[in-house]
Amino acid sequence: MKNLSKLWGIVFLTAIACAFFSCEQLTDPSPQTVAKPTATPIGGNYTSVQTVTLATTTEGAAIRYTLNGTTPTASSTLYSSPITISETRTLKAIALKTGWTNSDILTETYTITLPEKVIQPEATPAEGTYPTAQTVLLTSVTTGADIHYTLDGTTPTTGSTKYSSPITISETKTLKAIAGKAGMIDSDMLTATYTIGCIVTFDADGGNPAPASPVIVSLLSTIVQPPPTMTKAWHTFDNWYTDSEFTVPAVFPITVYGNINLYAKWNLNTFTNVTDVSGYLASLEYNTKNNPVSLTLSLDLGSMPATGSGWRQLLDAINTTGKYVNLDLSACTMTVTSFNPNVGVETGKDKIVSLVLPNAATSITGGSISSPTFRNFNNLKSINGANITTIGTYAFYNYYSTLQSADFPQATSIGNGAFTYCRSLQSVSFSASAQLLGPSNISGYYNPFDGCTSLATFTLNGTGDLSVIENGKALVLNGTVLIAYPSASGTITMNTITSINNSAFAYCTNLQNVSFPQVTSIEHQAFWSCSGLQSLNIPQVTSIGSNAFNFSETTTLSITMGSVAPTLGYEMFDDITDAKTVRVKIPTGATGYSPASSPFTGTAVTVNGSVDENWANGLRGGGWTGTTWATYGGGPENINHNITVIIQQQ
């Protein structure tokens, strides 16, 4: 019974509770809602920038907002300080608190219509450095605007000095000014610095200690003496100059009539050991072959090819630092007098852009076609040897040579093929008594300047049998023997030449028409690879060397010859792979031009396809002694069957 009474009691109390509260509230209470934010001031039309404060009465709630009209979320900008609104915007805000329902969204639109802004004042003259006091005029294009200014660097306000008349600035000052007008926004601030005096700058170019620079001094003041002595590693101070090209030295005392720039000139020391060379090159920034650093050295190069020689150490230093250099070795000593850079060593040579050989060197060691002396000097542009008398065979032989200038004023012997295929060579200098010619019509001999197609300046020193013609472009022996004309082009006539040296015109691809009224002999390969050659006038010729017209690729070549057929070397038109017609024009009565009539009656003869022993087939490649095939390298097996010879009346 007692337990039953307790049960009825519990039921009774529950009934009483449900009478005052819903049973749902007791089991599942709803979360509270965050109070909607408020904005102060509220949205509306304003004529000035507004600073808006957001708030919510819910303690601990965070406010997030947007200004672009989008609905704010929990990831929108968090409100932390008043918001500046300087143009028309729609502000939307929401308040959030963990465990609470987000507030309703506040929406306020602020329409901002600002008054016009006064135009910034202008100063005349403009800021700058002036040697004397300046009278500054302030103006504003906004009519009726007042201008207020300061001269102490502070920001001007409407309480600053009001401008009423031009301002005299007699010492360095910073002028600041604003313009204002009732009902308008104040202008932006003008800032103008006036430096009164003359600017003196000192460019120490790395000298230490460097003088203070720039400095302002008074007009007509005097710079009594130069700055204190400076030092610079690996250099010796020269002087102060008034120009960056170091043409006008500064003379102290200096009276100041205006701004002055002074430049310190430093002379790089002559290096006497490789260690200093390495240190100096390592201190420099990366360079290219177009801006090499110039070094003057006084070292013992020793026995140059030997491992560990001064020359090899120098190459190693250049290679290790990776800097491009101009080397002046004129003061260097050597064990012997022949300059031998050691063709077997590649290290460092590609970094040498110009080279002055030791005064102790009197010759350059010769090389070979496969191993020219200056192989691996892949960026060498100029070379000079004041006392070089002998340039060895194939010294600079190189299809891909970058050499542009070679100056050997005392050279009296230039070896076989010394400069052959130096396609970039533009100028060369040597003695007028130099020996250049070698045996003619012998396979394997190379004109020293064969293939130097850019060579347009021969300079001769002293007196001798050599001379230059054609504005220095052509080299001549005894006034009559044309040794080399490597840059010949277009149409040329040379009335005094009686002999043309081997390879004299080799690779003159733009040479078209040539006239030699007095030439009697043409050596082998004289017109090798003259691919544009169209006509040749040689009415006195008596002999033409082998391979004279190899690679002359025009379809027709017209040759005017004389009354007696010349002897011919072998393979005159070797390596012509397309059909080519050679028209030989001779006078009536000419002899020896078989199979044409002899004396020639004027009847044209065409020779192609045959291997008969005659002059025409000798011209096609078989060679001709005057009566039979050429003794050396001649014969019908050397005839080029792409060549058609037409012997005709002049």
583 half-sphere exposure, CB direction, 13 A CA radius:
14
pLDDT surpassing 80 at residue 38: yes
Residue 391 bridge partners (DSSP): 364, 414
- Phi and psi torsions of 5, nearest 5°: -65, -40
- 77 vs 527: CA distance, rounded Å: 86
What pLDDT, on the 0 to 100 scale, is given for residue 3?
45
Pairwise CA distance, residues 377 & 341, whole Å? 10
pLDDT digits (tens, 9 = 90+) for 108-163: 999 999 889 999 999 999 999 999 999 999 999 999 999 999 999 999 999 999 99
pLDDT band at 446 (very low <50, low <70, confident <90, very high): low
Give the C-alpha separation, 91 to 76, whole Å.
12
Indicate the length of the chain as a whole number. 650
The distance of Cα 177 from the centroid of its chain, to the nearest Å, equals 48
Q: How far apart are CA 254 and CA 585, in angstroms?
A: 80
Work out the mean pLDDT of the chain and round it to a whole number.
93
Predicted pLDDT at 9: 44
Burial 365-404 (b: 16+ CB within 10 A, else e): bbbeeeebbbbbbbbbbbbbbebbbbbbbbbbbbeebbbb
Output the pLDDT for position 29: 61
SS3 317: helix
**Residue 22's pLDDT is what?**
41
Per-residue pLDDT tens digits for 13-35: 444 444 444 444 444 467 899 99
pLDDT at 79: 97
